[in-house]
Structure 1
């Protein structure tokens, strides 16, 4: 689909100037199709966090090109000027910790983003409930985050990442705190949601439990990416 998927071409990020400059990214290339879940792995200091922050429009790349579908969002400078709106409307985030708002019910934790984007409250809650049902936690819609199990909290966090229907989701170590069964359940959910909503998902991980599930993997080492075929077990 023209408005979905992500493509990165020659992305660089340099910190500092002159003799003290450090090249954290050295021409990264990456493509993730709509409906695809891709793994991003690499040792500490390899550039994973820097790449994720660039993709999430949290920090400015130095050069290169980033596209969401046919929409160029960065080409040696930000083409989209309102980065807050870009993050809100085009990029979903799932973190290692759920970061749910403790004083809001589950349904409003999920509905808050579309409400902030101007979606009427009833419509935002309806959209949130649809996602909670897809993730099998609709029965917890009126619960407070403190009443949820760790697995339920992560499902709610995934719903929140999807609720604005972004073309891209960035998942940063989403299974790190989970045991094997729950970790694999989260990855299965991400695969199911990617296919259902035609979302391109990048999962940054060190978790050896889930690495065999990816059909494609990008290794990042010293600021450069290398693609390889993954095992892709269990999610056909």
Structure 2
């Protein structure tokens, strides 16, 4: 099976001369469709920089990247419209849900599809499908402020999946949740990755969920090391 995410010798350098900082140093990584992997490391180790490079938010200094089987960077961007690629091919989940407060939960999930040019009817159908899969369809017409933290993250996950991206990048998605809800979120991510064939990277410090990953990448001072995870069964 071909990886959905490939990073080859990715570097990111800030500054020049005596102020140079190598935030990423020759990163190599591969994540396969349907796989959820953990990315761990101390604060300042380069996790956010790695995610931003992979998410086409910042430019790597050098190296090569593939997403969804498509080469997107080879010592320079190979795609014409980086913003459109990011919108259509990468789903993002953050520490907080960041739902648009004046839209309903259904409209929040529909928004990325409408921005991508999907007809209203098909966007509505896809959004309801995802909210149903995530067991929160009964809150479709509610506003975000009417949700609990765990419910809001479910809507955020639905939004990230809305354009059926091959890749989802999750940055501390369980940080504001208690242990039980954290495990529920990771369980959902695993089920959705398997169902939709999505490759998911989860950046986390959460000691509750780290043992659930079968594979881990640990980053230290910009260098990434692959580790075998425990793959502990989730009992949320």
Normalised by the shorter chain, which TM-score bucket?
over 0.9
1:177 & 1:233 partners in 2: Cα distance? 22
Structure 2 counterpart of 1:12: 11
Q: Does 2:105 align with 1:106? A: yes
Partners of 1:109 and 1:167 lie apart in 2 by 20
Residue 177 of structure 1 pairs with residue 176 of structure 2? yes
1:49 deviation in Å?
0.8
Moved more, 210-219 or 15-24: 15-24
Q: CA deviation at 1:234?
A: 1.1
Does residue 1:121 correspond to 2:109, yes or no? Answer: no
| Structure-1 separation of matches of 2:68 and 2:41 | 26
Distance 1:146 1:122 in 2: 26
Deviation at 1:19, TM superposition (A): 2.1
Take 1:149 and 1:123, find their aligned partners in 2: how far apart are those partners?
Answer: 28
Deviation at 1:26, TM superposition (A): 0.4
Q: Does residue 61 of the first structure (1) align with residue 60 of the second (2)?
A: yes
Aligned partner of 1:196 in structure 2 is 195
Whole-angstrom CA distance in 2 between matches of 1:222 and 1:81: 32
Query: Aligned residue for 2:144?
Result: 145
Matches within 5 A, 1:28-177: 28-177=27-176
TM-score normalised to structure 1 length:
0.97
- Quote the offset at 1:81 in angstroms: 2.1
Using the alignment, how far apart are the partners of 2:68 and 2:136 within structure 1?
Answer: 31
Query: CA shift at 1:141, angstroms?
Result: 0.5
Once residues 41 and 11 of structure 2 are traced to their aligned partners in structure 1, the CA distance between those partners, rounded to angstroms, is 17
List gaps (5 residues or longer) in structure 2: none
Distance (Å, rounded) in 1 between the aligned partners of 2:230 and 2:78 = 37
TM-score (norm 2): 0.97
1:178–1:74 Cα change, 3 Å? same
Q: Which runs of 5+ in 1 are unaligned?
A: none
Q: Is the 8 A contact 2:34 2:198 kept in 1?
A: yes
- Provide the rounded CA distance (Å) in 1 between the counterparts of 2:171 and 2:184: 16
CA distance in 2, matches of 1:70, 1:56: 15
2-side partners of 1:198 and 1:122: how far apart?
24
CA distance in 1, matches of 2:86, 2:143: 26
SS in 2 for 1:7: strand
Compute the displacement of 1:142 (Å): 0.5
Is contact 2:105-2:142 (8 Å) kept?
Answer: yes
Deviating above 2 A after TM superposition, structure 1's stretches of 4 or more consecutive aligned residues are: none
Kindly report which structure 2 residues correspond to 1:185-224, keeping only aligned pairs within 5 A, or say none: 185-224=184-223
- Contact residue 68 and residue 167 of structure 2 kept, 8 A: no
- The C-alpha deviation readout for 1:43-67, integer Å capped at 9, x for no partner, is 0110001101101111000000100
CA shift, 1:69, in A, is 3.5
